[in-house]
Chains A and B, each alone.
Chain A
Amino acid sequence: MSENPGAPVLELPASENSVERRMVLNMGPQHPATHGVLRLVVEIEGEIIVSLRPEIGYLHTGIEKTCEAKFYQQVVPLTDRINYLDPLSNNLCYCLAVEKLLGLEIPERAQWIRVLFTELSRLNSHLIWLGTHAMDIGALTVFLYTFREREEILRIFEAVAGQRMMTSYFRIGGLAMEPPLDLFDRIQAFINTFPEKIDEYSNLLTGNPIFINRLKGTGYLSAADAIAFGVTGPPLRASGVDIDLRRDMPYSSYEKFQFKVPTSTVGDNWARYEVRLVEMRESTKIIQQALDGMPGGPVKADAPKIVLPDREKMKTQMEALIHHFKIVTEGFDVPAGEVYQAIECGHGQMGYHIVSDGTAKPYRVHMRYPSFATLQALETMVKGGLIADLVAVIGSIDIVLGEIDR
């Protein structure tokens, strides 16, 4: 840890014509280090950043508007596409919000499997962050290592949902289906070796002098600034604010799991790196607990008018067939009301705000995504620093443009 929590802010050369020497540099939207289509308008004086303005919207697809034209159950696949690196957290947050409106009780097994897969999804998100972040800084090897583990997570997703990235595995009222028989063994095998893999990444990076020099003391964000800008998740915890919704406002039976919430008071890029690395280890522990204590029982709520029936029942029972037909063609009515459900996803705090007018289609769905808020703090983090550090900071706050533009 560095002695001085504040980043060494470089002094601007004091001269009368310094404003004239300023230059506006356009970075992106096609730039390999912006993790998508982020455009930054950077004003620089020599190598020093004077101001920065993010221009977003290049990936705006109007998902919120599309949701208003779909049945409640048809929105689930749309949510995957928002944060495509952490698909199951999207599913979970949306389903929890609708279930809150419906007053549905979710079977314990479904809740535990949700925790299990959300944590795998978090690992997926953190692995991509680590690989791309290190790659931006020049440590290319780590990228190949993290994608090796990510591949196994994606294969697990494929085994359970039939899709590698756009899982849509959580449905309103539970899960799409019971996971295959050998899947838990497969996850166990993955978890058994994963802590060693984290050590491997750590060996490649934690002692790497270039990596250390690029991250320590750069991209400083104070706790007060983080709160003011609405920063959440690992960047907030790395600035010394100890809040994690999984522990503090538990949902989906997270209260039954023991895990530590890593924090740091330093607030620089290095602190964010360390916090996320420990978070991966803690996620592994949560997955282990979920595997050890996995309760039995159904994976869908007993609500025939909301949850699709099993295929087997559909072929043998008339009521099941009618319900299936009704749900697919007409949807189901959700009581009028307004709810907000927040969860802790890989990037931070995600929130779904759903307003129902009592029909089968949501009246309004609004998503609060962590990267959208975190991006506002970027200028504070890089101002007065070198332009070369900007790339390190973008990697360190871990943004996904899909969730910023929606």
Chain B
Amino acid sequence: MTSETKTLSGRQAVLEGMPDHPALKAILAWNADALTDANFAYGELTLTIDPEAIRAACSALQAAGYNFFEDMTAIDWFPTSPRFQLSYHILSHKLLDRIRLRVMLGEADPTVDSITPVWPGANFFEREVFDLFGIRFDEHPDLRRIMMPDDWKGHPLRKDYPVEGYR
């Protein structure tokens, strides 16, 4: 579909290949060390952010014009390590550009800062990830199960949870 065939992988390649990208500039100006990896594929820019810094990264991007939180979800890479990947999709209404922030989390007690202070709309999305993946979000205002019943055991979207459930 897309005519964009350029692919850049690795932090260095992206920094050299697209030095004028507003999101990249905003992240570098804020904290270059928090950007651990980057790649550009299918016309989409992915920035891997240090898990400790995700909320501050979102604030920096929001200030740079990426005003709209679109989506977030998790991916379970079981059994590789780090096991969980969080993908945030953020859109700029002004620049009409979308970027993806990626955060990698380990298997033991996966916890990350909630971004609801930056975008309250992340509330349900984070609850969904908490419910279906068992990833906790610090300072989330209402971290409860959202899809499954409150007394449900396990997290259905994890890869070690059978598709048919436990019966």
A→B interface (CB under 8 Å): 56-57, 60, 62, 64-66, 68-69, 96, 99-101, 103-106, 227-231, 241, 243, 248-249, 251, 337-340, 342, 349, 351, 353, 355, 363-364, 366, 368, 372-373, 375-377, 405-406
Q: Determine how close the nearest CB of chain B comes to the CB of A338; give it in whole angstroms.
A: 7
**Residue numbers in B under 8 Å from A251 (CB-CB):** 1
Q: How far is the CA of A249 from the CA of B91 in the complex (A)?
A: 11
Could you show 26 A-B contacts with beta carbons less than 8 Å apart? A60-B148, A62-B156, A65-B156, A96-B1, A100-B42, A101-B42, A227-B67, A230-B68, A230-B121, A249-B98, A251-B1, A337-B41, A338-B100, A340-B100, A342-B70, A342-B98, A351-B89, A353-B71, A366-B73, A366-B87, A372-B125, A373-B125, A376-B121, A376-B124, A377-B121, A405-B147
Residue B146 CB within 8 A of the other chain: yes
Q: Contact check: which of B41, B75, B156, B161 meets A363 at CB < 8 Å?
A: B75
Residue B69 CB within 8 A of the other chain: yes
Q: How far is the CA of A105 from the CA of B67 in the complex (A)?
A: 32
Nearest-neighbor residue (CB-CB) of A96 within chain B? B1
Main secondary structure of the interface of A (DSSP, over half): mixed
**Residue numbers in A under 8 Å from B89 (CB-CB):** 340, 351, 353, 368
Q: Contact check: which of A229, A339, A351, A366 meets B120 at CB < 8 Å?
A: A229
**Residue numbers in B under 8 Å from A104 (CB-CB):** 1
Q: How far is the CA of A66 from the CA of B156 in the complex (A)?
A: 11
Q: Which of B73, B121, B156 has most chain A Cβ within 10 Å?
A: B121
**Residue numbers in A under 8 Å from B163 (CB-CB):** 65-66, 68-69
Q: Contact check: which of A101, A342, A368, A376 meets B123 at CB < 8 Å?
A: A376
**Residue numbers in A under 8 Å from B132 (CB-CB):** 64
Residue B44 CB within 8 A of the other chain: yes
What would 12 more interface pairs be, CB under 8 Å, given A230-B70, A373-B121? A57-B146, A65-B163, A100-B42, A229-B121, A230-B122, A340-B44, A340-B98, A351-B89, A353-B73, A373-B125, A377-B121, A405-B147
Q: How far is the CA of A100 from the CA of B5 in the complex (A)?
A: 10
B→A interface (CB under 8 Å): 1-2, 5, 41-42, 44, 46, 67-71, 73, 75-76, 87, 89, 91, 93, 96, 98, 100, 119-125, 132, 145-149, 156-157, 161, 163
Q: How far is the CA of A64 from the CA of B156 in the complex (A)?
A: 10
Cβ-closest 10 pairs across A and B: A230-B121, A368-B71, A366-B73, A60-B147, A57-B147, A229-B121, A99-B1, A69-B163, A364-B75, A100-B1
Q: Determine how close the nearest CB of chain A comes to the CB of B1; give it in whole angstroms.
A: 5
**How many A-B pairs with Cβ below 8 Å?**
102
**Residue numbers in B under 8 Å from A228 (CB-CB):** 119-121
Q: Which of A106, A230, A248, A364 has most chain B Cβ within 10 Å?
A: A230
Q: How far is the CA of A363 from the CA of B76 in the complex (A)?
A: 9
Nearest-neighbor residue (CB-CB) of B165 within chain A? A62
Q: Determine how close the nearest CB of chain A comes to the CB of B6; give it in whole angstroms.
A: 13
Q: How far is the CA of A103 from the CA of B42 in the complex (A)?
A: 9
Asked whether, in the complex, the Cβ of B157 is within 8 Å of the Cβ of A64, the reply is: yes
Q: How far is the CA of A17 from the CA of B125 in the complex (A)?
A: 37
Beyond A57-B148, A65-B163, A355-B75, whether A230 also contacts B1 by CB under 8 A is no
Q: Determine how close the nearest CB of chain A comes to the CB of B50; give it in whole angstroms.
A: 19
Nearest-neighbor residue (CB-CB) of B161 within chain A? A65
Asked whether, in the complex, the Cβ of B87 is within 8 Å of the Cβ of A353, the reply is: yes
**Residue numbers in A under 8 Å from B76 (CB-CB):** 364
Nearest-neighbor residue (CB-CB) of B97 within chain A? A249
Q: How far is the CA of A349 from the CA of B89 in the complex (A)?
A: 13
**Residue numbers in B under 8 Å from A241 (CB-CB):** 93
Q: Which of A68, A101, A229 has most chain B Cβ within 10 Å?
A: A229
**Residue numbers in B under 8 Å from A103 (CB-CB):** 1-2, 5
Nearest-neighbor residue (CB-CB) of B4 within chain A? A100
Q: Determine how close the nearest CB of chain B comes to the CB of A372; give it in whole angstroms.
A: 6
Asked whether, in the complex, the Cβ of A230 is within 8 Å of the Cβ of B93, the reply is: no
Asked whether, in the complex, the Cβ of A366 is within 8 Å of the Cβ of B147, the reply is: no
**Residue numbers in B under 8 Å from A373 (CB-CB):** 121, 124-125
Q: Which of B70, B87, B98, B119 has most chain A Cβ within 10 Å?
A: B70
Asked whether, in the complex, the Cβ of B68 is within 8 Å of the Cβ of A366, the reply is: no
**Residue numbers in B under 8 Å from A349 (CB-CB):** 70
Q: How far is the CA of A249 from the CA of B67 in the complex (A)?
A: 16
Asked whether, in the complex, the Cβ of A230 is within 8 Å of the Cβ of B119, the reply is: yes
Q: Determine how close the nearest CB of chain A comes to the CB of B86; give it in whole angstroms.
A: 11
Q: Determine how close the nearest CB of chain B comes to the CB of A383; give it in whole angstroms.
A: 14
Asked whether, in the complex, the Cβ of A337 is within 8 Å of the Cβ of B67, the reply is: no
Beyond A106-B1, A230-B68, A340-B98, whether A56 also contacts B147 by CB under 8 A is yes
Q: Determine how close the nearest CB of chain B comes to the CB of A91; give it in whole angstroms.
A: 15
**Residue numbers in A under 8 Å from B75 (CB-CB):** 355, 363-364
Q: Determine how close the nearest CB of chain B comes to the CB of A168; give it in whole angstroms.
A: 19
Q: Determine how close the nearest CB of chain A comes to the CB of B89; give it in whole angstroms.
A: 5
Q: Determine how close the nearest CB of chain B comes to the CB of A155; give it in whole angstroms.
A: 31
**Residue numbers in A under 8 Å from B121 (CB-CB):** 228-231, 373, 376-377
**Residue numbers in A under 8 Å from B122 (CB-CB):** 230
Nearest-neighbor residue (CB-CB) of B75 within chain A? A364
Nearest-neighbor residue (CB-CB) of B2 within chain A? A100
**Residue numbers in B under 8 Å from A101 (CB-CB):** 42
